[in-house]
């Protein structure tokens, strides 16, 4: 259960990736309960979606619980983000969990180090009624145990999945994008003000003085929720900065929701992956995980997930809201190709444990362990 394509959000993409990798690994046929936000009733899903949870309708949660209990599936996995469930801090989901008569694993995509009272209460209740709780990082697991005081026997770490791609030079991918042999910096994902992209643009003014061949691509459309609230004002402000700084030949905004193959191709062409994000307590970043998995040198602000990943020498941390710090670290990598290639190799090696086949296998082991003793779940890797 989670948001699911064609809905455009990070959880939807992640849910589909988990399902595809799991079914591809074990030859199973998972079925989906898709979460619809208000106004999402018009959306048309594929045949794998067998039920729909209406986010803001409390009665929908017990209705879906009844569907799960009657379904032949042995267990339910929920891909959780507070904002996609109804009630204060998504508390309606507790109603569903209380009614379930099957094991349920809860994958938490947000774990704040200093939760306010309601978030703490809701998270503890969700964990209480879940058979297992999955964090996408070791930092998240530690917080769930020490801050949220969740039974450590329930806690598991399964990494954010990444593409299982070969380690290649950027030449072929750059040729396919028509960027020649320019040094390519990228940031991708749904655009919102928390990305800190204005500081990256400020940094580019310095970077291009020393490396005028550099091209920075900001890839992705505006987050649908942001677009409903403020239109394209943030993107337009970024575009105005690009013009003001005379960076039209060095920065491009690619206003497109990227599919999996497009993301992989852009990353294959990337020399440096940049995340200038502003939220210091961000516990996971799918885009950063993908970049590491593809063997890219990283420059990032020190939010929690970046600190954990870059501790493995996959790149450099820069200061929050500091264009000079971004420029300094990017230039260090542009000036020293040998250093950049060494970091790329370290990132790629570290990312092997995060590939989707490894993630699917980890979910499979957990599901097999938690399945009811009667009708024990048998999972065999498909050829």
* 272-287 per-position pLDDT tens digit: 999 999 999 999 999 9
- Do you find a cis peptide bond into 6, omega within 30 degrees of 0? yes
pLDDT at 304: 96
Q: How far apart are CA 344 and CA 356, in angstroms?
A: 19
Determine which helix (DSSP H) or strand (DSSP E) holds 21, and give its type and residue range.
Answer: helix 10-26
Q: How far apart are CA 138 and CA 316, in angstroms?
A: 20
Residue 105: band (very low, low, confident or very high) from pLDDT cuts 50, 70, 90: very high
Whether the pLDDT of residue 20 is over 50: the answer is yes
Q: How far apart are CA 89 and CA 122, in angstroms?
A: 7
Residue 383: band (very low, low, confident or very high) from pLDDT cuts 50, 70, 90: very low
pLDDT at 287: 94
Burial of 212 (0-12, 13-18, 19+ CB in 10 A): exposed
pLDDT at 259: 86
Whether the pLDDT of residue 122 is over 50: the answer is yes
pLDDT at 45: 97
Residue 116: band (very low, low, confident or very high) from pLDDT cuts 50, 70, 90: very high
pLDDT at 225: 84
Q: Dig out the tokens for 181 from the structure.
A: 């042999």
Whether the pLDDT of residue 264 is over 90: the answer is yes
Distances (CA, A) of 159 to 9, 141, 204, 359: 19, 11, 32, 7
CA atoms within 13 A on the CB side of 166: 5
Q: 232: Cβ–Cβ under 8 A, 6 or more apart, which residues?
A: 222
Is the CB of residue 272 less than 8 Å from the CB of residue 297? yes
* 289-311 per-position pLDDT tens digit: 999 999 999 999 999 999 999 99
Residue 377: band (very low, low, confident or very high) from pLDDT cuts 50, 70, 90: low
Mean residue pLDDT of the chain comes to 95
If DSSP codes are grouped into helix, strand and coil, which group holds residue 80? strand
Whether the pLDDT of residue 199 is over 70: the answer is yes
pLDDT at 8: 86
pLDDT at 158: 97
Q: Quick one: average pLDDT of 208-221?
A: 97
Q: How far apart are CA 123 and CA 144, in angstroms?
A: 9
Residue 93: band (very low, low, confident or very high) from pLDDT cuts 50, 70, 90: very high
* 348-376 per-position pLDDT tens digit: 999 999 999 999 999 999 999 998 765 55
* 168-183 per-position pLDDT tens digit: 999 999 999 999 999 9
* 319-330 per-position pLDDT tens digit: 999 999 999 999
If DSSP codes are grouped into helix, strand and coil, which group holds residue 162? strand
Token pair 């964090």: residue: 135
Q: Quick one: average pLDDT of 257-278?
A: 95
Strand order in the sheet with 155-157: 76-80, 104-108, 132-135, 155-157
- Please give the model's pTM, rounded to 2 decimal places: 0.89
Q: What is the DSSP string of 310-364?
A: HTTSSEEE--TT-HHHHHHHHHHHHH-HHHHHHHHHHHHHHHGGGBHHHHHHHHH
* 124-151 per-position pLDDT tens digit: 999 999 999 999 999 999 999 999 999 9
What is the maximum alpha-carbon separation in the chain? 68
């Amino acid at each position: 259960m989670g948001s699911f394509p064609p809905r455009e959000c990070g959880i939807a993409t992640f849910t589909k990736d988990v399902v595809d990798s799991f079914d591809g690994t074990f030859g199973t046929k998972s079925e989906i309960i898709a979460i619809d936000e208000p106004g999402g009733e018009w959306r048309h899903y594929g045949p794998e979606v067998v039920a729909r949870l209406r986010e803001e309708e409390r009665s929908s949660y017990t209705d879906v619980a009844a569907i799960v209990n009657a379904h032949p599936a042995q267990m339910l996995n929920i891909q959780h983000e507070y904002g996609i469930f109804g009630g204060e801090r998504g508390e309606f989901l507790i109603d569903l969990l209380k009614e379930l008569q099957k094991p349920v694993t809860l994958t938490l995509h947000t774990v704040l180090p200093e939760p306010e009272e309601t978030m703490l209460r809701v998270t503890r209740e969700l964990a209480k009624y879940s058979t297992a709780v999955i964090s996408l990082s070791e930092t998240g697991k530690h917080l769930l145990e020490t801050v949220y005081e969740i039974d450590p026997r329930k806690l598991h770490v399964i990494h954010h999945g990444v593409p299982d791609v070969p380690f290649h030079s950027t030449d072929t991918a750059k040729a396919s994008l028509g960027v020649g042999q320019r040094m390519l910096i990228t940031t991708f994902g749904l655009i919102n003000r928390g990305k800190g992209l204005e500081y990256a643009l400020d940094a580019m003014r310095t970077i291009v003085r020393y490396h005028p061949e550099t091209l920075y691509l900001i890839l992705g459309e505006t987050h649908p929720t942001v677009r409903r609230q403020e239109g394209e004002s943030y993107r337009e402000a970024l575009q105005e900065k690009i013009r003001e700084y005379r960076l039209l030949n060095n920065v491009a905004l690619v206003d497109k929701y990227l599919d999996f193959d497009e993301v992989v191709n852009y990353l294959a062409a990337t020399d440096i992956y940049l995340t200038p994000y502003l939220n210091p307590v961000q516990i996971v970043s799918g885009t950063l995980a993908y970049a590491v998995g593809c063997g890219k040198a990283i420059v990032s602000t020190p939010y929690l997930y970046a600190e954990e990943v870059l501790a493995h020498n996959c790149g450099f941390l820069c200061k929050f809201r500091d264009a000079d710090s971004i420029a300094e670290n990017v230039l260090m990598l542009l000036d020293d190709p040998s250093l950049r290639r060494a970091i790329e190799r370290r990132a790629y090696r570290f990312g092997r444990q995060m590939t989707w086949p490894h993630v699917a296998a980890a979910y499979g082991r957990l599901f097999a362990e938690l399945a009811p003793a009667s009708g024990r779940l048998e999972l065999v890797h498909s050829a």
